[in-house]
Amino acid sequence: MVKDEVTKYKIACYTSPVESHWANTTRADALSWLNHNGLPNGREEYWKYTNPLSFNSSKLPVKNEIDPSYKKPIFDDINCVKIVFVDGILDLENSDDLFMAGIEIEPLAKANKNEDHWSLGYFGNIEGASQKVVKKTLASLNTAFATEGLTIKITDKVSKPISIVYYHTNEMSEALIHHVIKVEKNAHATLLESGGISSRSNCVMELSLEENACLDHIRVQGRSHERESITYIFSNLEANSCLKSFTLTVNGRLTRNEYVVNINGENAKPHVGGAIVGDTGFSHDDTVFITHSSPNCESRQVFKKVLRNGAKGVFQGKILVKEGAQKTDGYQISQGLMLDNDSNFLAKPELEIYADDVICSHGSTCGEIDPTALFYLTSRGIPKSEAQDMLVLAFLNEAIDEISSNEIQEIISKRLLDWMLKRHKS
């Protein structure tokens, strides 16, 4: 019944929750898909550059240190509605009042018990549909067993950002988190995520953007050096909707961020991007799959990775333009900046196009700091280390520019500068 031993042991770590009929059915479907296909192994093309084995492990992650200097959440100075998770478990006591005009937030466990909750038809469905193209059984595992997470329905233009703050306090914790987010017609919101979730985490976010809906998503992943994270963002976009999702990753032993974007209406604009900086033992993978099924849409993928001391950066990005999706504008750039000779950047850009009137571009580069630019800066009196920082930040700027809010752009740039200053000390 179960495909392999690894999958069997992993499944044995969890119990299936008993919820509403529809949630039970969805979870059973996900589990059966997982049983049938098994967890990923290093032999699949989809996992060519990143080894999934530690995500599959049924043992708890190795004890890892929690960096105490980052207890102050990065977005603390922004006026927002704060929702707290500690080691992957929702902490309502330390969260703000979830009641706010234009928005309905509920814990996933509560929503899934409700026989006619709005998330019926979304939970597990957006994720499930994407499995037909490429199987993603770690996401199936999440859908089958995750009881932590939020359902968020945005019904109007929301005045304050929603900020999900994760605290990592247990050195050997593992978390499954599953968020379901629906942005209704003409609604608009900003969603922030920050902090270390747990030692090992598997997070799924299912997003549905209706006509004219707009979501700005900015995520700052935990910077504990030993953590392992796999994240999935599954999204459906209707006509004239706009999704901007940006992720900052500073350190972490193993990160795989997957984005699956389906464009189902005209003039939709999904933009995904990331600024990534990593050091010794760092492995970071962005895997993106954008499907254009409607004409006149614009998608962008902008990923920039700064690597040193043997760090590894991976990018797998695909744009699929279906027949009839004319006037598609697809842009994809992935670049690695190596600060030494020991690091790796592995990129696999893909375009698959079945329409004859489209603009699709992909670029992938890998290089070192431009010595001519460095000399230009230092010849004006800027000390070498500072000049290097300026060039590193300049390299990352194209990705940071994907963030709509200037205030948040500045916060992100500052966090990156901190990383660079720390780098000089080490």
Partner 1 sequence: MLNINNLNVELEEENKKILNGVNLEIKPGEVHAIMGPNGSGKSTLSYVLSGKDGYNVTEGTVSLEGEDVLSMESYERAALGMFLAFQYPVEIPGVGNMTFLRTALNSQRKANGKKELSAAEFLKIVREKAKSLKIDADMLKRPVNVGFSGGEKKRNEILQMAMLEPKMCILDETDSGLDVDAMRLVANGVNALRSKSRSFLVITHYQRLLDHIVPDFVHIMAEGRIIKSGNAELALEVENNGYSQLLAECG
Is 417 one of the binding residues for partner 1 (CB under 8 A)?
no
Contacts of 110 (CB under 8 A, 6+ apart): none
Give the shortest CB-413-to-partner 1 separation in angstroms: 11
d(CA 24, CA 27): 5
Is 369 one of the binding residues for partner 1 (CB under 8 A)?
no
What is the distance, to the nearest Å, from the Cα of residue 65 to the centroid of all Cα atoms in its chain?
Answer: 23
List, in sequence order, the alpha helices (H) in 119-233. 125-130, 137-145
Q: 379: number of CA atoms within 13 Å, CB side? A: 6
Counting beta carbons within 10 angstroms of the beta carbon of residue 118, is it exposed (0 to 12), middle (13 to 18) or buried (19 or more)? middle
Contacts of 283 (CB under 8 A, 6+ apart): 50, 253, 254, 255, 311, 312, 314
Give the shortest CB-336-to-partner 1 separation in angstroms: 16
Is 4 one of the binding residues for partner 1 (CB under 8 A)?
no
For residue 109, CA distances in Å to 34, 55, 138, 177, 330 come to 21, 23, 20, 11, 38
62 versus 382: smaller Cβ distance to partner 1: 382
Is 371 one of the binding residues for partner 1 (CB under 8 A)?
yes
Is 363 one of the binding residues for partner 1 (CB under 8 A)?
no
Of residues 387-416, those binding partner 1 (CB under 8 A): 387, 390-391, 393-398
Q: Which of 15, 79, 379, 426 binds partner 1 (CB under 8 A)?
A: 379
Give the shortest CB-351-to-partner 1 separation in angstroms: 25
Q: What type of residue is 50? A: T
Give the shortest CB-386-to-partner 1 separation in angstroms: 7
59 versus 384: smaller Cβ distance to partner 1: 384
Q: What's phi and psi for 110, nearest 5 deg?
A: -70, -45
309 versus 397: smaller Cβ distance to partner 1: 397
- Nearest alpha-carbon partner for 297 in 330, 320, 333: 330
110 versus 414: smaller Cβ distance to partner 1: 414
Is 54 one of the binding residues for partner 1 (CB under 8 A)?
no
282 versus 395: smaller Cβ distance to partner 1: 395
Is 381 one of the binding residues for partner 1 (CB under 8 A)?
yes
Q: Which of 375, 407, 421, 422 binds partner 1 (CB under 8 A)?
A: 375
Q: Which of 13, 172, 377, 417 binds partner 1 (CB under 8 A)?
A: 377
68 versus 371: smaller Cβ distance to partner 1: 371
Binding mask 323-362 for partner 1 (x = CB under 8 A): ----------------------------------------
Q: Which residue has the tokens 């500690």?
A: 86
122 versus 395: smaller Cβ distance to partner 1: 395
- Encode burial over 363-385: b for 16+ CB neighbours within 10 A, e otherwise: ebebeebeeeebeebeeeeeeee
Partners of residue 131 on adjacent β-strands:
none
**Contacting residues toward partner 1, per CB under 8 A:** 370-373, 375-384, 386-387, 390-391, 393-398
